[in-house]
Amino acid sequence: MTSAPIAPKRPYVTSHHGIDRDDSYHWLRDPGFPEVTDPEILAHVAAENAWFEGWLAPHEATVETLFEELKGRVKQDDTGVPVRDGAWEYWWKFAPGGQYRIWLRAPAGGGVEQVILDEPALAADHEYFRLGGSAVSPDGNWLAYAIDIDGSERFALYIRNLVTGEIGVAVAPNSIGTPVWAADSARLFWTEVNDQWRPWRVRLHTRGSTDLGAIVYEETDGSFFVGLGRSQDRSRVIIRSADHVTAEARLIDAAAPDPTPLLVRPRQAGVDYEVDVADGTLFVRANDTHVNFRVATAPIGDPGAWTELIAGSDSHYIRGLSAFASHLVIEERVDGLDAIRIRSHDGGEHHIAFPEASFTAGLSSNPMPDQPVLRLHYSSMVTPQTAFDYDIASRTLVPRKVQEVPLGYDASLYATERLWATAADGVRVPVSVVWRRDQARGARCHLYGYGAYGLAIPPSFSASRLSLLDRGFAYAIAHIRGGDDLGYGWYLGGKMAHRTNTFNDFVAAAEALVEAGYATPGAISTSGGSAGGTLMGVVANTRPDLWRAVVAHVPFVDVLGTMLDATLPLTPIEWPEWGNPIQDRAAYEAIAAYSPYDNVTAQPYPAMLVTAGLNDPRVTYWEPVKWVARLRELGTGDAPLLMKTNMGAGHGGKSGRFEALHETAEEYAFILAAFDAEPVRVSEDFTQP
């Protein structure tokens, strides 16, 4: 192609609250979605892909060099650490060069290993493959597992006989989440998604039956999604209905012949809670009395009668709990850093001591009702992923596996610190940064952000990131409001009417990196995906002078259009996060003021790479496609504007560990090309590390 594809404009005007909105690229939405068959739409998406491939062609050598580096840092025959569950130990492994895992087990204490699931075999005939939830029955004889072969996140659910190896008829074509076995190993609870991709029902399937199973619970509120889990002591199946701020839980006796859900406490707007069970006692994590949550207990027979066990705290943000037979494990965050509290049921407690000042840590798989030794995951910006066993009695950490980097990795070559940026309203925002000690700072910096749904971005290790660090980049993560990095209030401070704090925090983080000598204005690349793509769109519109390159993965950029469309699967559940512009004029005006698609202007934009998935049910493909069309229409300057749509994948891009790395290599090549396009003036007073 000799010129970038230009999408025609076709008038499409909607009106809300007396305000007209012109969405002239609305035609790029196929009305038959999730099927996309419109020839004109497919032709335009294909033209964008061809434009991307044309740009990429001169950079293929760089892509391949980067890909070989990234692949070379992945252990080809990697193996997981075995996890004990009853009479068996379970683990996974990759065959050399394998894209997908093989799942195995062996009798605890030694014995012949058995392949229980072969992902490479299941994926062999598919362009895309993803294993969803899986669960072994209590008697150890049956495996329920779910697979997605097109990225639509509608998982087909199967049951396999682990004694004979036989795979039965699919239970359902439209499941999601992890299924849960009843105590008799003959019945299976699973979650059903509807035509709008909303998890809304829990069904109980009887193994060997050809029907979907009886409906155990159905959620009638279109703004709530249903989730399914199992208590740590395995006595209860837990059904949880929730949007982003309000939750409600029900319990089912896993051994009962008649599975009647017992409501824990009715939903109350703004109250989020989750539960676990140990030895007949219900343990509750809830934010009903404190924004950072508390822990309460209740008898199983009267689950709504909560008695406070651990009060909420301004400094300790309680993020999760697991109720084991002899102790509680409470995952929390203290002053923005992960912490794990062990509390015995007699009241004694302590925190696990970790070896670094800044890190990320949490519980890994601990399936047994009691775990005197806990499996943990741990890393930092300079410490590779580490699996620890923590002996509660002796309070010792024993490393079971440290992520191997086959190309070699010397942690002493790298350094990390946490900066504090001052946002527009005076709030201090943490920024984690890592760099290579023998590289001059200031010429190249990459800044990553997300800032939504209360999801913190941990200061963890990335082997792929080394390809940027070794080329002179400092790499930073902005822990902006909208995530819960500094507590639940940090999340509340970046949502709904406070959404602009997220964007202002990110700009402040970039400016703090400049002030600290890690970056130069106009010499910062930045990336984010999904809701982080909203962030990318906003800062590209409002501060294009800061960025050398912007990478927006499956970006949620038509915020106003999506929040105005209640027929989309995620819209009703998203209103508590973004606002409801259909009913609320103030919400309409607030979203319209920042929605990236609605605020593209005639100005020079930095180099931009945008990705999409044709089958994406979360951020539908037309959002980034429309946004790029408007950027092509209005943007000035000659920086490249590229878009790549995965035609056989969804929200997460391509599947397979090496296919995903190839896309990372393309992203890094794009960033490097943007920096190589013209020289960057580095401040003379930059500080040597």
Q: Hey, what are 278's tokens?
A: 């140990």
How far is residue 645 CA from its own chain's centroid?
20
Burial class of 120 by CB neighbour count within 10 A (0 to 12, 13 to 18, 19+): middle
Helix (H/G/I), strand (E/B), else coil: 444: strand
DSSP 37: -
Beta bridge partners of 15: 20
Q: How far apart are CA 527 and CA 611, in angstroms?
A: 11
Catalytic residues: 530, 616, 651
Cα-only R_g, the chain: 25
Cα distances from 679 to residues 62, 277, 299, 682, 688, in angstroms, run 19, 61, 67, 9, 20
657-676 and 60-72 helices, crossing angle to 10°: 130
Contacts of residue 462, Cβ cutoff 8 Å, sequence gap at least 6: none
Peptide bond into 572 cis (omega under 30): no
- Chain centroid offset of residue 287 CA: 23
Distance (Å, whole) CA 419 – CA 434:
11
Residues 6+ apart with CB under 8 A from 383: 356, 359, 411, 461
Q: Where are the beta strands (DSSP E) in 207-293?
A: 214-218, 225-230, 236-242, 247-253, 262-263, 273-278, 281-286
Answer whether 172's CB lies under 8 Å from 210's CB.
no
Q: Which residues of 528-553 are buried (b: 16+ CB within 10 A; e: fewer)?
A: bbbbbbbbbbbbbbbbbebbbbbbbb
Any idea of the CA torsion for 262, 266, 267, 271, to the nearest 10 degrees? -100
Contact 233, 323 (CB under 8 A): yes
Asked if residues 570 and 194 have their Cβ atoms less than 8 Å apart, the reply is no
Spatial distance between the Cα atoms of 45 and 674, rounded to a whole number of angstroms: 24
Residue with tokens 């070989």: 68
Helix/strand/coil (H/E/C) assignment for every residue in 297-338: EEECCCCCCCEEEECCCCCEEEEEEEECCCEEEEEEEECCEE
622-555-630 Cα angle (round to 5): 55
